[in-house]
Amino acid sequence: MVMMSESLFSSSSSVFLTQDIHLESTVQDLPLYSFQVDIEEPGIALTRIFETHPFIPGVILTDRGKFVGMISQRRFLKMLSRPYGRELFLNRCIRLLHRFVTDQMLILSGNTPILEAANRAVQRDPEKLYEPIVVRLFPEEYQVLDTQQLLLAQSYLHQLATQLLHEKTQAQLIQTEKLVLLGQMVAGLAHELRNPLNCISGNARFIQESYDAVLTVLDAYEQKFPNSGKEIERLKEHFDLEFVKQDFPDLIKSIQVSSERMNQLVSSLRSFSYMDDSSKQETDIHECLDSTLLILKNRLKLAGIEVVKNYADLPPIPCYPGQLSQVFMNLIVNGIDALEERMKTDWNELPQIEIRTQIKPLSDQHFKFYNRLSKEELNFPINLFERTKDYLSIKIIDNALGIPPEIKAKIFDNFFTTKPIGKGTGLGLAISYQIIVEKHGGKLILNSTPGEGTEFEIILPLDNQKLLD
């Protein structure tokens, strides 16, 4: 008995609607053909199907309703073209023909990705390359996929991937340009603020000196003329001279403290926006970290996050300070975001970000860690480590929710973000990874336990060579 699907795709053309597939599409998203014929039927039944539907790639063969194989139109016509092929196969049951074609099938699950299916299809022997593919949708439901349509889908997906990559690259270039312009603007603003701040700071000292001089003269006058008269006494009471004497030094001190803090903030902005990448600078890493924390001080305070600093004694480190400050900013902001999310839950712990710095030797423990990675992950041969070389370790640790395992593998990918639209660009960690690995020859390592927290470890060489060169 011959069976046909009522939902059969149009077979008048090999072109299908590609707008319905995407990079994650599977073979069951492509046009499939579900013609079936029992192997006890005569071969002429296949002839009728292929003559009525000349564009179908093949027919499913069943035995009492059970799948036993597939005969392609190409293979069927080839068998008929043999000497005595028509006499041998047309009037006899299809079971005889089935014995000659049982080794020609590639069977794939319906959820096989299109790109994987195409790779498996082209790896077949040359004589089987254009044979259609059997797709298993359910345990007892099989349909036929035209290999040509599969390869067309593969070509379309390659074009789509190239287009998406181009769009992402353009978006990244735009974002990078914005960051450069923002850095230049911040640097210019910091420079413009420095002059009035220096004026305030300098005048505050001058006012303090002038106040001290006026107070000295006033005290000398009161000692010389203790009875200054009722008019002077009335003025003293009106202006509360004693309170002014006590309060004025505090006012001057508050101006000096505020101007000093503003100077620190401006210095932090200038350090953060430092754009000269022509050569590395001998830099105080702790100053970079403290400048970043100063910029984020208000947000940390509003969130109630405690910052614990465990700083070791460090020498000046050759680096690009502006870029390194950007990495610190990205990692600490990620920690703040994670802690703010955790604080929305029923959580009684104190939100905390710990920053540790330490000089370490490249120990056997780290060799074991890197040996677990493949050469593709390392991007350099493992045997080029220098076992005795010291390095700087900077750890930024939070006690938030941690990162799920399925996200860890994508965390440094361009444009990957778990944040809502408008809050995250998906570039922060990707750019941080690029800065540490490519610009500084170091490593950026993620360690995270779901439910406990996340640790980012930055490893930097102590000289101008790559850590692993």
Q: Are 321 and 283 in contact (CB under 8 A)?
A: yes
CA 187 vs CA 127, 190, 267, 321, 329: distances in Å: 67, 5, 10, 14, 16
Looking at the structure, tell me whether residues 360 and 283 fall in a common domain: yes
User: Domains in the chain: how many in total?
Assistant: 3
- The per-residue pLDDT for range 443-458, each reduced to its tens digit, is 999 888 888 889 999 9
Of the pLDDT bands very low, low, confident and very high (cuts 50, 70, 90), residue 15 is very low
Please check whether residue 318 lies inside any domain of the structure. yes
Instruction: Tell me what pLDDT residue 271 has.
Output: 62
Domain boundary among 145, 167, 191: 145
Domain boundary among 254, 271, 288: 271
Looking at the structure, tell me whether residues 360 and 445 fall in a common domain: yes
DSSP H helices, 273-320, are 285-295, 297-303
Looking at the structure, tell me whether residues 215 and 323 fall in a common domain: no
Per the model's pLDDT, the better-predicted residue between 82 and 301 turns out to be 301
DSSP state of 106: -
- The per-residue pLDDT for range 21-47, each reduced to its tens digit, is 888 889 998 999 989 999 888 888 888
Instruction: Tell me what pLDDT residue 373 has.
Output: 47
Q: Are β-strands 352-361 and 306-310 bridged in parallel, bridged antiparallel, or unpaired?
A: parallel
Instruction: Tell me what pLDDT residue 244 has.
Output: 80
Residue 155 has pLDDT above 70, yes or no: yes
Q: Are 70 and 58 in contact (CB under 8 A)?
A: yes
Three-class DSSP category at 218: helix
- The per-residue pLDDT for range 316-365, each reduced to its tens digit, is 988 888 788 888 988 998 899 889 988 888 777 899 999 999 998 765 44
Place of tokens 């009035």: 196
Looking at the structure, tell me whether residues 212 and 284 fall in a common domain: no
| Domain with 426 in it | 279-461
Section 203-231 average pLDDT = 82
Choose the weakest-confidence range: 182-191, 277-286, 352-361.
182-191
Please check whether residue 457 lies inside any domain of the structure. yes
Looking at the structure, tell me whether residues 264 and 326 fall in a common domain: no
Looking at the structure, tell me whether residues 222 and 244 fall in a common domain: yes
Looking at the structure, tell me whether residues 299 and 423 fall in a common domain: yes
Looking at the structure, tell me whether residues 294 and 427 fall in a common domain: yes
Looking at the structure, tell me whether residues 244 and 340 fall in a common domain: no
Residue 120 has pLDDT above 50, yes or no: yes
Looking at the structure, tell me whether residues 89 and 176 fall in a common domain: no
